[in-house]
Amino acid sequence: MASACRWEVIGGGEKGGLVVRDGQSTNSNQLDRLATGSIVTELEKVGDRIHYELISGSGPNKGWVSINLKGKELLRSLPVGLPMVELEIAPKAAEVEKAEVVPVEPAVEPKKETSKAAAAEAADAEAWWLDAARKAPSAINGDLLDAFLEKATSKLEAPGDYLGGQLPVMPRTVGLPTWAALPDKAKKQFPEKSRKPMIRLYCFPGAADNYMLWLELATSAPPWCEVAVYEPRAHGFRPEEAWDRSLEERAEDAFQVMRPAFETHASGGVSEGAPFGFLSHGVGGQFMALLAYRLKQELNLQPLVVFANDGPPPNVPTLSEEGYRMLCEDVLGFYRLFQPDTVSQYEKMGGAGNRAAEALIQKWSRGLRLFEEHARRAAQRAPYHKFDCDLHVLVAKHTADADSYIAQKDPAHLQYWERRKKITGSVAESGCNWDREGFKKWSEWTTEDFHYHEVETDHMTIKNSALMRDIVFKELGGFCGMDD
């Protein structure tokens, strides 16, 4: 689950601030201006406009403003990991405390009866996670990755050439949620369009993510593209399922969940040879690579293009040794440094003893551990998979530039950032999760061309960014004659 995004007003200085309106439309009633330098939190985002609540600065407490206008940036998203110092000293802090807390998971369809076997599996996994052994760093177990890579399989013939035309509706299982399963409120906010897909885009989320957080991407895709977002066990529409114990286990689940859809592309499938692409966010690129390995191994399929959104390749850890140890031994202490907004949300939800609050921290901490432990296994060997297609890395520039941003702040921010530097896996002088050289190591994971992009956004919002979508869908359109 993503924390609420915060924005700094950087435009409007020459006019006394930004124009604020009382509704989403630019024709709505105009309110007072929002002063340049103000900090706001995002309540809702529709296209390039946000509904905000003021944290610090001056202007209307709530209203709608544009993120950019005619190519000029008016708001700048604050880098992930910034401390909550601003919130604690800001005039609007008391009002922020009253803000409604986003639920850990969306309202979903009535819960289906869980089978005894599934319930037992979930209980066994939960006991494994709660075992005292999980409170300490794990030894690097290369056998887990070896077992995944060496699994005996029966490989299909390569698919023939695609004959073209519209793709049929994608087969979906519980781990590939459909728009139809959404709550009515979400459907109204993100209406789906009539689709005649010519290509598919399969998406792989990072830690603590779920389908609901990808709705803007899925519904704003051009009508010629169908987007499918994998949702892990124990997340979103799968709350009663067992927690994965390794990223390799999650990749096995993802392959089984997505296999019916992939088989339509495979030899003998109803859409044999039909084009598709892969897209990941954050550390989700790690199990995207694992799944791609299994997909080639069993169904002899490969994507036509891959997009890694603001995340490292599988062999680049996110944390330092100290950071990994802290994640295992002191989860709350770790997240106070690594992602303060998550702890703030946890506390507003009731903290220790509150089921929803505990679930929030579990999703972040367990999820990150899966990815981090896999990265430590992968770092000990050469890349285990090569994509035979172009690979695009899209870096969230605002987050990548956090070091220079923090350097201009007050001593409290600087002290926080110095502490954060000790727990991240980026170069020693950086407090960012990853550095630019780490992103560029994706070049080792493809046999074709490597493309590096920097996008004017931050880590949390890049997966739904219009700027990101422009790059992705222009590239995808080229594979199906829709790039005009």
Cα–Cα distance, 436 to 439 (Å, whole number): 5
Which of 71-75, 330-334, 350-354 has the least mean pLDDT?
Answer: 71-75
Residues 6 or more apart from 472 whose CB is under 8 A from it?
Answer: 201, 277, 279, 307, 392, 394
Query: What are the domain boundaries of the chain?
Result: 6-97, 118-477
pLDDT at 275: 96
Give the HSE-up count for residue 159: Cα atoms under 13 Å, Cβ half-sphere. Answer: 25
Q: Which pLDDT belongs to residue 175? A: 95
Token output for 182: 């959404």
Please give the average per-residue pLDDT across 202-214, as a whole number: 94
Predicted pLDDT at 104: 34
Where residue 351 falls among pLDDT bands split at 50, 70, 90?
very high
Architecture (CATH level 2) of domain 6-97 = Roll (2.30)
Q: Which two tokens stand for residue 241?
A: 């399922």
User: H helices of 330-447, where?
Assistant: 331-338, 340-348, 355-378, 397-400, 402-407, 411-421, 436-440
Q: Is the confidence at residue 108, as pLDDT, over 70? A: no
| Domain 118-477 class in CATH | alpha beta
The pLDDT-based confidence of 54 (bands split at 50, 70, 90) is confident
- Cα–Cα distance, 36 to 320 (Å, whole number): 37
What is the distance of C-alpha 193 from the center of its chain?
Answer: 23
Q: Is the pLDDT of residue 85 over 60?
A: no
| 6-97 and 118-477 in the same fold | no
Average pLDDT over residues 412-435: 95
- Per cent of the chain over pLDDT 70 is 91
Question: CA-CA distance, 72 to 152, in Å (whole number)?
Answer: 55
pLDDT at res. 229: 98
